[in-house]
Structure 1
Amino acid sequence: MVDRVVITFIRHGLTRENQEKRYIGWSNPSLSEQGIRELKSKVYPKSPDRLFSSDLNRCIETANIIYPHLKPILLKELREMNFGDFEGKTFEDLRDDIQYEQWLNDPFQIPPPNGESYASFKKRIHNGWSRILEAFQDPSIKQIVCVAHGGSIRELFTQFGPSDQGFWDYSIKHGDVLSLVGDREEVRRMYRCTLLQVGPLMEKENG
C-alpha cells in the first residue's frame, strides 16, 4: 500500500521591491500592502503537519498570515540566490553593466559579482530539501508546507518534480501554491515525486 505524502510550496507574497522589479535575493524587505491583501484573498491548504519557511522576512510574514497559529521552522537553506552586487537593482540600473550582461547570458555558469554561483545555490537548496524530508521519518507526518522563493522552488521542482523540466519551465507567481506528491519511502530517498499539483489540494485528497 502506497504511503502518500505531500510537500506543498507557497511562494511568498509581493514586496514593494518585487513590484519595482528589483533583485532581492538575500535582501530582506517586508511584504507590501498589496502583497498582504493578495495573500489574505486567496485559498490555501489546511494547516499542515509541519511548516517550514525561508528565514527571510517576506517568507516568515507570508507564513504568519496564512497559518497564524503555527510557528514555522526557519531554514536559511531555502533562501533565494544571493545576487551580490545586483541586489536591490533593476534591469534598467544594470543594462549597461558588462558583468550583468555576461550573467544573463549564462546564469548557470557565471555568478553575479560578489554573489552566489548556481552550483552553490543548488547545493544549499538540496541541503534544505534533505532537512525537510527528515520530518517524514515520523509516520504521522503526511503533509508539509514550505514557504519559499521563486528560484528555490524552481530548483527543487527541476530536481524532484515528476517530469524532466528545466529551471525556467516553471511559472510560479507570488502567493502561488504548488504541491509535490509521492510515496513516503521514495521521497525520503530523494527520488522524483510522482505528481505535481497546482493549487491547494482538497481535504479529501489528503486523506
Structure 2
Amino acid sequence: MGREMAEEIRICLVRHGKTEGNVRRGYIGCRTDEDLCERGRKELETYKSEGRYPAAERLYRSPMKRCLQTAEIIWPELLGAETCRVVEDFRECDFGAFDGKSYAELSGVPDFQHWVDSDGMGAFPGGEDPKDFRRRTSDAFLAVTEELFADGIRNAAFAVHGGTIMSVMAEFGDPEKSYYDWHVWNGDGFLVTVSEQDWRRTHRFRRIERLLPVEDTEG
C-alpha cells in the first residue's frame, strides 16, 4: 500500500536563509559553519507566513547550522528522529582557500583569477573539484529518492545549500540547463514532482515550480 501511495512524490528543495557571509556575497562553503543572520531569519518567517513552503512528511537537511536553523523555522514539526534525516553529502562545496572570502577580497588573487578564467569549473585551491561536489550531491539525492519511494513518502522537504540545489537541478532538471542557470537566492528553491514510473525511465523532473516569485528574489 505504501508504495502505491508514493507513485508520485513532491520534493521541495529550499536554499537556507541568509547568513552574514551571504549578505556580503562571500564564498561560504562547508568550512564556514555560520548561523543565520537576523535578516535571514525574518525573511524565512515572512515567506513561511505567505505559504511559500508546502507541508511535508519527511525532512532531509545538510549537517550545517544554517540548514538546521532554516528547518527550525520552516518545518519545526519534522525535526524529530522519525521524520528528519541529516545527509552529510548534502553539505556545501569545499571552497578551499576561497572559503569565507568575498569577490572583492579575492579580486587580484592569481589563484582566484585562474578559477574565474575556468568559468568556475576548475578545482578550488586546497578544496573540492566542482565535478566531485556535483557528483556527491547528485548521488546522495538519488539514494534519498529511492528511500522516498520505498517508504511511501509523498511529500518531502530539503533544507540545503544553493550549490546542492544547483547540482541536483543540473543533473535531473528538465529542460536541461547548466549548473549556474539553476541559481536561487536564500530562502528560494524549487518544488518538483516525479512519478516513480517516469523517474525509473528518465531520471528527470517533469514538473518544476519556483517557490518565490521573481520579484521577491534578488537580482
**TM value normalised by structure 1:** 0.89
**Match in the other structure for 1:122:** 134
State the SS of the aligned residue for 1:51.
strand
CA deviations over 1:116-145 (Å, ceiling 9, x no partner): 001210221122112211222336311111
- Pick closer, same or farther for the CA change 1:139–1:172 going to 2, 3 Å: same
1:164-175 matches, cutoff 5 A: 164-175=176-187
**Match in the other structure for 2:59:** 51
Q: Name stretches of at least 5 consecutive residues in structure 2 with no aligned partner.
A: 213-219
**Match in the other structure for 1:34:** 39
1:1-207 matches, cutoff 5 A: 3-26=7-30, 27-42=32-47, 43-71=51-79, 72-107=84-119, 109-138=121-150, 140-187=152-199, 191-199=203-211
Shift of 1:109: 4.1
State the SS of the aligned residue for 1:138.
helix
Letter in 2 for 1:32: C
Letter in 2 for 1:92: A
Structure 1 outlier segments of 4+, above 4 Å: none
- Pick closer, same or farther for the CA change 1:79–1:139 going to 2, 3 Å: closer
Moved more, 159-168 or 9-18: 159-168
**Match in the other structure for 1:205:** none
Letter in 2 for 1:67: W
Alpha-carbon distance in structure 2 between the residues aligned to 1:150 and 1:130: 18
Count of aligned pairs: 200
